[in-house]
Amino acid sequence: MNRSFKTVAIIGKYADPNIGDTLKTLHQQLRARNCAVIIDADTAASINGLDIPSASREQIARQCDLAIVVGGDGTLLAAARSLSDTGIPVLGVNLGRLGFLVDVWPDEIATRLDQVLSGQYTEEDRLLLQARVERNGSTVMESAALNDVVIHKWQVARMIEFQTYVDGMFVHTHRSDGMIVSTPTGSTAYALSGGGPIVHPGLDAVVLVPVCPHTLTNRPIVVSSASRIEIVVGQIGQNASQITCDGQVTERVETGDRVIICAKPRKLRLLHPVGYEYFGILRSKLHWAENP
C-alpha cells in the first residue's frame, strides 16, 4: 500500500444525517486497510452514533495524509477552501447530484479505496483563487475560492457599476448584474451559465464573465492565472452589492471598495479514481452523448 496515506480524514456533508451509514462503512473499510481515521468535528457533531475520533480542520491539516469528502460538489468546495494551504490530497465520494468534483460512487468505495491506497489513481492540481475586500485601506474580508469569486447585486432589477483592472491596466467600466471571476474548475459552474467558456483544468487561466451586461459587446475574457485582478465598486447609492466565494462565503460591498483577486500559490491536490477522464465527465454531466 501507499505508505503516504497512513492517516485519513473523513469530511461529510454538513448537517446531513442521511450520510451516517456511508461514513460508518467508509470508516470500517479504512480501518480494515490499517489506516488511522479521523472525522471532521463539524461532521461528527451533526451525526449520532459515529464512534470515530474527531478533529478540527486545523488538526486534520497537521495530522492527515488524505481527506475523503462525502457529499456533493458543494461539500468539496468548502473542504477545499479550509484545506487550501495544507497540500493534503482530496478524494470525493458523490452523494450529491452533478458531481463534477466528487466522482467515486458509494457502491464503488471498497474497490476505489484499494486502488487509491495502493497508489492507483489520477492526481490533478486545481487552481484556487484568493479574494480580498479592502475598504478605506483596511481588509474587511478575505477568502479562498475553488470555483469562483462573484461580485453581484443584492436587489432584483438593479444593475451595479464597477471598474475592472488586470495587472493595474484599466479594462472596462461595467454596468451589469455583476462579474464572475472563475477558475478552470468553476468554468463549468456559474460562469458556464453566464455564457463563459469551458476551460480545461490543466490551464493556468482565469475567466472574467460579466453577468447580464448593459453593453452587449462586453464579453467574457480569459487571462493568465498570474494576473492580479482588481474590481472597484462604483456608485451604488442605496443598492447593496455583495461578494460571494464559491456561492458559500458572502460579504456586503460598498461604494469605493476594492476587490483584489489573485491565484493562491498552492493548488488543490484532487484525486480521481482509475479511469477518470475530463472529457468523459463533460459528456456525462452535460449530456453531450445524447442524440438531439
- Bridge partners, 57 (sequence order): none
Task: Tell me how far apart the alpha carbons of residues 261 and 130 are, in angstroms, rounded to a whole number.
Answer: 6
Query: So which residues are the catalytic ones?
Result: 73
Instruction: Name the 3-class secondary structure at 191.
Output: helix
**Cβ neighbours around 125 below 10 Å, total:** 13
The answer to whether the beta carbons of residues 88 and 269 sit under 8 Å apart is yes
Q: How is residue 277 written as a grid cell?
A: 477522464
Please say whether the beta carbons of 259 and 230 come within 8 A.
Answer: yes
CB 161 within 8 A of CB 175: yes
Distance in angstroms (rounded) separating the CA atoms of residues 202 and 170:
28
